[in-house]
Structure 1
Amino acid sequence: MKNFIEKFKLFLQKKSSSLVKTIVFPEGNNVKIIESAFICSQLNISRCILLGDKQHIHSIATKKKIVIDKNIIIINPDNIRDRYAQNLFYMRKDKDIKSYQEALNLLDNNVILSLMMLNQNDVDGVVAGIEHTTADIIRPTFKLIQNNCVNSFVSSVFLMLFSDQVLIYGDCAINQYPDSKTLAQIAIQSAKTAHSIGILPKIAMLSYSTGDSGSGDSVCKVREAVNIVKNTQSDLLIDGPMQYDAAVSLQVARIKLPNSQVAGQATVLIFPDLNSGNITYKAVQRSSNIISIGPILQGLRKPVNDLSRGATIEDIVYTTAMTVIQSL
């Protein structure tokens, strides 16, 4: 178990360290963030910018016996907010910001400040959410990073590090009630993420029914999504609808979908809605005590990733590694 997981973590470390990128953490005063930045620096995963109070951060570092080296830069956000106010005002003046002062006031929010740093290419990615809700991260990201993008679509995945494999779960954080076209887009984006980390995507479109054994609107939606992907991305291995056990168990797959190239060996599992996806990933993570990296956001113009407020230091470190990899 440990050997496989360590090999995958080492793969993420090596790939991210080869890219030499800078990631900003708007919640830089947080103890977990400080410890994670130290590990990222030690492993050469990224250069880290902590937005926060220098004295506070150094105090925590001393207590935790952490060295703030040259790869960890502490910036007092009060000293840089005005650098970004003009551009923020210009970006949103025809939408929801009416004055320069209003833009400057909005930059009191370190998440918004970090997104503007990313927008202006001062950093390569943003990792946030240890003290904020997903909505606190996603809403300004859509406004500032996806600003004026044509036909942009964003979804999310979790990397679930099991004892002998990594499974990709999507979408467990963004799209609440996806229709068949949305499910197809989630599947395609998730396959791209799988490729980026060396995993051959075998996509299982999940449902409460396997093959032709059941019916209903939800099953039809999943079936239509499979057909859309097959018609637009014929190179992808995809099958469904199928139940979770048929997706991951060869023994069950031989009974329920014996002719499938995906069943029993799926690496990418697409849930029919946010409710089932979010519940499943949390249930599996907590009951199996596995590392869960994410949510990793897909489809953004520049990489921003949202941490669960219950994220461990290890979760943060490898979410940072994924953010670096996405910055290519």
Structure 2
Amino acid sequence: MQGFGMMIDKLKKSPKKIVFTEGSDPRILEAASRLLASNFLTPILIGKPEVVEKAGEDLGYNIRGAQIIDPENYEKMDEMVDLFCELRKSKNVQPEEARKILKQGNYFGTMLVKMGVADSLLGGATYSTADTVRPALQLIKTKPGHNIVSSCFILVRPSATGENEVLAMADCAINIKPNEDELAEIASEAADCGKIFGIDPKVAFLSYSTLGSGKGEDVDKMRNAAEKAKALRPDLPISGELQFDAAVSPRVAKTKCPGNEVAGHANVFVFPDINAGNIGYKIAQRLGNFDAYGPILLGLNAPINDLSRGCNAEEVYSMAIITAALVED
């Protein structure tokens, strides 16, 4: 995939560690064995070593070289408990409660990232999205200057030219009804994420109206959000509000908004709400024959990503590379 080569090259120059919260899951073990063979990303598997090692052996996956950490026997647990209590002092969390919480792989793995043991985290093979995102919000928190965590999907499809067509769509998984300021932040994060995949961002704020052709508060929201995004990121070509056909079709753009620098060529799409975003990316995936990677979480202090519980080992492998490549050196 366009962008994957760049990500792997980045990791080869600066290898990272990624923690998997479900260390004995067969899909995780298969992906971990591939990563170990590639030698640019070290897996940390959470679970009892004897259980994880036996699962790998039974399935025929070579996981020698992976770090396996059991929350029940972690040598720095006292240090982790103290830090957890400090991070959650507003909730008056006591050490006994913290120790109990940290036996859960999702919280334990997130604290490994917080403590610098791992650079990034990938979870959700058996956990829900909420169970992956909640610890990240509580412990990793948002980057300075950011107010929200958002997400985007990267969609990839081979084109007739031989190069992949790569698009970014946001926010399709986290923010239910983002306001104008949140939409501007979502656009900025999605554009930067797209660059990692080789996208030269051209950002469209989508609506049922194109530059005033329709009326309504939802139209106003997207138009205002686009203006705020332009002020936030004057380095990016941004336009809105645009209908989807005007955003992607040069012919339609020539009729509806001639001379617009984004219309007809957009590759980063900002949706008005999670309904539109989730439906939109799934239509592209299922009817447009795009491969969808994500949701990729954006705005956190460290890369933490969520898998679909229906994922396969190939998706785990790909998402591990994506997640680790998001680490800022």
Name the TM-score, length of structure 1 as normaliser: 0.91
1:57-109 superposed Cα distances (whole Å, 9 cap, x missing partner):
33332343321132x22222211144511211222133241x21011011121
Aligned match of 2:180: 180
- Alignment match of 2:82 (pick from 80, 86, 109): 86
Moved more, 157-166 or 115-124: 157-166
Residue 39 of structure 2 aligns with which residue?
44
Matched, 1:140 2:145: no
TM-superposed CA distance for 1:200, in Å, is: 1.2
> Matches of 2:22 and 2:282 in 1, distance apart?
24
Within 5 Å, give how 1:280-319 maps onto structure 2. Answer: 280-319=280-319
- AA aligned opposite 1:282: K
Distance in 2 of aligned mates of 1:177 and 1:278? 12
Equivalent residue letter for 2:261? Q
Equivalent in the alignment of 1:198: 198
Residues 45 and 321, structure 1, Cα contact 8 Å, conserved in 2:
no
Backbone CA RMSD of aligned residues: 2.0
CA distance in 2, matches of 1:92, 1:269: 36
Indicate yes or no: 2:3 matched with 1:8: yes
Which 5+ residue runs of structure 1 have no aligned equivalent? none
Is the Cα–Cα contact under 8 Å of residues 142 and 300 in structure 2 kept in the other structure? no
Residue 161 of structure 1 aligns with which residue?
156
Q: 1:130 aligns with which of 97, 117, 125?
A: 125
Residue of structure 1 aligned with 2:26, choices 23, 28, 31: 31
SS of 1:172's equivalent in the other structure is coil
Structure 1 residue 150 displacement after superposition: 6.5
Query: Cα 1:321–1:255, aligned 2, differ >3 Å: closer, same or farther?
Result: same
Change (3 A) 1:285 1:59: farther
**Take 1:267 and 1:148, find their aligned partners in 2: how far apart are those partners?**
25
Do structure 1's residue 115 and structure 2's residue 110 form an aligned pair? yes
> Matched residues in 2 for 1:148 and 1:40: separation?
28
The unaligned stretches of length 5 or more in structure 2 are 159-163
Return structure 1 stretches of 4+ with deviation > 4 angstroms. 147-151
Distance between the aligned counterparts of 1:96 and 1:135, measured in 2? 22
Q: How many Å separate the matches in 1 of 2:168 and 2:308?
A: 17
Give, in angstroms, the shift of residue 149 of structure 1: 6.0
Q: Quick one: which amino acid aligns to residue 15 of structure 2?
A: V
Cα deviation for residue 11 of structure 1 reads 2.8
Say whether 1:256 aligns with 2:256.
yes
Residues 13 and 43 in structure 1, CA contact (< 8 A), matched pair in contact too: no
Paired residue secondary structure (1:165): strand
Greater mean alpha carbon deviation, residues 130-139 or residues 147-156: 147-156
Deviates more, 1:294-303 or 1:216-225: 294-303
- Distance in 2, matches of 1:155 and 1:52, equals 29
Aligned residue type for 2:89: K
Distance 1:12 1:324 in 2: 9
Aligned to 2:242: 242
Alpha-carbon deviations, 1:121-159, whole Å to 9, x = none?
Answer: 111011111111111111121111118967532211111
